[in-house]
Amino acid sequence: MNTKTILGVSFAAIFAVSMILTPAFALVMDPKNDSTGNADQDLKSFGLDGQGNPSLKVWGHAGDTKPADGSGLVNAYVLVTDDGIYAVTSHAGIEDSSEVIDDGLWHAHKVTLDENGCVTSLSEDGDAWVHGNQVTVKGTSATTVDAALIVQLTTSEGVCVGTVYDSP
């Protein structure tokens, strides 16, 4: 075999293997096959972690999807607990947390929402921990987690839930 034939066979073999592996890889990238296409926005489970902190897990790598600078959007992992609603958020252009230097980094808030899903109060309660496929809020008084959501909020007319990416 000459060099061109060897390279042709090698590329053909790589292409064949990639066609076999692509469906399995796609399942890892977006296991729910939803409109987001992002496994970090696909909820896997929620509850209290081993230390009793409110926590959720995603199918992908938590925190990978952040809103673009200047978009006026807020991405949030939300945990509804017996101690209130905690949101671990990332956003640009609004500095509302002393937990991090740049609010594009993930940080926690305790929030209250009205009947339209708009934020009526916000405090710096809780500390965000985003690692691997897990999002945790430490430093709360929560003893149960009733629900979890992954959402994007808009800031055009108040701070309101615009898109729910995933919920149980």
Q: What is the DSSP string of 92-108?
A: SS----SSSSSTTS-EE
Q: Which of 16-25, 33-42, 52-61, 95-104 has the lowest mean pLDDT?
A: 16-25
| pLDDT attached to residue 26 | 37
- Who has greater pLDDT, 55 or 4? 55
| pLDDT attached to residue 32 | 60
Closest CA to 96 of 83, 85, 107, 87: 107
- Who has greater pLDDT, 97 or 32? 97
pTM: 0.77
Q: Which of 47-56, 62-71, 88-97 has the lowest mean pLDDT?
A: 88-97
Taking the C-alpha atoms of residue 147 and residue 23, their distance in angstroms, rounded to an integer, is 31
| pLDDT attached to residue 34 | 58
The pLDDT of residue 12 is above 60: no
